[in-house]
Amino acid sequence: MRRPYMTLQFLLLVACICLPGPVRSQEHNWTNFARIGAYGLTSTNAAEIVQNAERDHVFGMEVDNDVTGRYESLLDPADKLKAIRAVAEAAHNAKNKAFVYIAGTECITANADKSAHSVVKDHPDWLQRKITGEPAVFTSGAAFWIRPGDEDVWVSPYVKEWRNLYMQRVRQIAATGIDGIYVDIPYWMTHFDGWENTWASFDDATVAAFREKTGRDAKKDLKLGDFRDPNFREWIDFRIETMTDFVQEIRQNAHSVNPQIMVIPEIYPGIEEEATRVGADVYQMYRVVDAVAHEYEFGEGEHLASSRSQLDWFLYQAGMLTFRAFAQGKATWILNYSWDGDKNIDPREAMKNLAMSQVVAGANFWDAPGHSMAGSNDRATREEIFRWMEANEKTFYSPRLPSRPIGVYFSPKSRDYDANGFLPSFRGLLVLLLQSHQEFQVITPETLAAFHGDVLVLPNVTVLSGAEKRALDRFAGSGARVVITGHNATGLAPSGRILAYESCPASLYLDKLEKNFSGGSQEMPKEFLKVLSVKSEMELDAPSTIAANFGLVDGKTHLFLANFGGLVPGKVATPAPVAGARVRIPASLGDSLAYLPFLGQTQILHGTKHGDTMQFELPSMERGAAIWIVGK
């Protein structure tokens, strides 16, 4: 979301990215190893920004002067383009990178109440609208970044006049030599008060585009909000495709001028139903951009680290690991918040929890005080975290590949059309596997053909295309196990290799955790886990309050651990240290492990042999750690 960036002093942030899952055929680029700091860009402070970045070990500077999101500069960008060019040159002279913020479909006119010109006054036909015709025009009461007297509007991406002008500005920005364009909130307006259930936009240009594509009248032929209505499903698909095509066109225009430039949209919906509502689906968008920055609030979960429950933390892991599967080698940046004045929580502890949770999932740490982006809750703590991340970037931000995973199928259309049915099963299954320390890999329609694991689980998948069904049939024919929970949309008949559960054990398990996390964790569906089990090269014995995920990094099996034990929302932000955890590996792989605790130094552990297995006692662990096989 847009933030008040218009001051000279800004937060210094790190976005360190790694790559689990199947990796696209592309080289790592600077976005995968960026350590981000954010700055307000003026006509005179380019050198100051770069000097500050060098001082604080920033690699990848976000600069904000928002050409497209301010009506004045959308019409006349000359001064802002000059400033962008200056900071790009200064960054390159320092062997650094810089990228610039622009708005997506939002545009603000400053002091519109006193100006003869504004978007509404000059171009009322540009605006998104409710089905009742009400335009997407807002004032300072709608959002914290809209100042008194300003006019905030949301534009239809089908308005040709605006879109042509927007893409012209994108090309001009790319021509400055800047290294990236950061596109904030390319959404349909459905997230301000009173707009949540509108399924906008029903402006003339959008309605005409839908009619051209489908032959249907969006104002008359849809049962809005009825996910069983095939016409409404077409509207859902159309809205998602529209925003995906919009950011793809931004990238095409930018690359037409500067093939090396990176286009990075910032998206707040994650894997949950909000993606369908606002039309910004990161599963689709990862395919057409260079990276995604997630302002991830994971559905109903608590987005502040200081007030998250233990279940919130596990659901957060599930969401980020799903993003990493979508990314297929592209960078994942996470923008979230650790603390906002909670009197019972030390902000430094909340910052460390947030950083740890993101690093072990292979995502970046992007901290800020409250919801303002200007600064940090504690600069010394942030610097400590940044230096540690920089020193260990190869461990956490090199490509991660699957080893021996359980496949978990993410069904985009089940999420779009049946979120209440699919999501509890999908998210519950990921939490169950994280708590039981099983390696998993999120599989999508795009990656199914390349998956060669022994087990694939379809967690209450209710909607499958013909192509998906054929791909699943081929997978089942390979001799692997297919486990179907809840609805069976595959057409596969149960057999010795096709196992079906009428109800979903993972959904039932999540329901228990929601009622009582500690008690529910004692009731894991053990027989179900046995059906799924695939023997990993590295096995962990540890409490279920530790989330574990696996990956091959530089050919070596790695285990990434996050400890959420003892955390109490709003009361306790220091995890209870875990002693007595053990790791087992085949003795043939050696007798030594590397153990890197969060904010600590790597140490070598030596195991004891038990038959054909080598067992290692782990040191007492506070927040988290990375472990990998060293050998003999």
> In sequence order, what are the beta bridge partners of 101?
64, 182
| Burial zone of 66 (CB within 10 Å; 0-12 exposed, 13-18 middle, 19+ buried) | buried
pLDDT at 506: 98
| Burial zone of 164 (CB within 10 Å; 0-12 exposed, 13-18 middle, 19+ buried) | exposed
- Per-residue pLDDT tens over the stretch 312-332: 999 999 999 999 999 999 999
Sorting pLDDT into bands at 50, 70 and 90, what band is 9?
very low
Sorting pLDDT into bands at 50, 70 and 90, what band is 33?
confident
Q: How far apart are CA 97 and CA 34, in angstroms?
A: 9
DSSP summary character for residue 503? S
Q: How far apart are CA 394 and CA 172, in angstroms?
A: 35
| 3-state secondary structure at position 309 | coil
Among the ranges given (194-203, 243-252, 295-304, 462-471), the one the predictor scored with the smallest mean pLDDT: 295-304
| 3-state secondary structure at position 421 | helix
pLDDT at 11: 33
- Per-residue pLDDT tens over the stretch 214-230: 999 999 999 999 999 99
Greatest extent of the chain over all pairs of C-alpha atoms, in Å = 83
Q: How far apart are CA 518 and CA 545, in angstroms?
A: 9
pLDDT at 60: 86
Q: What sign results for the dihedral spanned by CA atoms 229, 235, 239, 240?
A: positive
Of 355, 358, 334, 338, the closest CA to residue 347 belongs to 338
> In sequence order, what are the beta bridge partners of 109?
151
Query: Taking a C-beta distance cutoff of 8 angstroms, is the pair 345, 573 a contact?
Result: yes
Q: How far apart are CA 224 and CA 238, in angstroms?
A: 14
Instruction: State percent of the chain over pLDDT 70.
Output: 94
Q: How far apart are CA 445 and CA 55, in angstroms?
A: 45
Among the ranges given (106-110, 368-372, 514-518), the one the predictor scored with the smallest mean pLDDT: 368-372
DSSP string, 214-282: HS--TTTS--TT-TT-HHHHHHHHHHHHHHHHHHHHHHHHHHHH-TT-EEEEEE---SSTHHHHHS--H
Q: How far apart are CA 15 and CA 407, in angstroms?
A: 28
Q: What is the mean pLDDT of residues 381-405?
A: 92
- Per-residue pLDDT tens over the stretch 118-141: 999 999 999 999 999 999 999 999
345-367 CB burial, b ≥16 within 10 A, e <16: bbbbbbbbbbbbbbbbbbbbbbb
Q: Which residues contact 435 (CB under 8 A, 6 or more apart)?
A: 314, 521, 524, 544, 545, 547
Q: How far apart are CA 201 and CA 191, in angstroms?
A: 12
The sheet with strand 498-501 has its strands ordered as: 440-443, 406-409, 455-459, 481-485, 498-501
Of 583, 582, 578, the closest CA to residue 536 belongs to 583
pLDDT at 2: 46
| CATH number of the 539-631 domain | 2.60.40.1180
- Per-residue pLDDT tens over the stretch 523-578: 999 999 999 988 889 999 999 999 999 999 999 999 999 999 999 999 999 999 99
Q: What is the mean pLDDT of residues 361-377?
A: 76
CATH architecture of 31-295: Alpha-Beta Barrel (3.20)
The residue ranges of every structural domain in the chain are 31-295, 406-532, 539-631
| CATH number of the 406-532 domain | 3.40.50
Q: How far apart are CA 439 and CA 114, in angstroms?
A: 60
Q: What is the mean pLDDT of residues 69-75?
A: 98
The alpha carbon torsion through 599, 603, 606, 612 (nearest 10 deg) reads: 60
Q: What is the mean pLDDT of residues 86-97?
A: 97
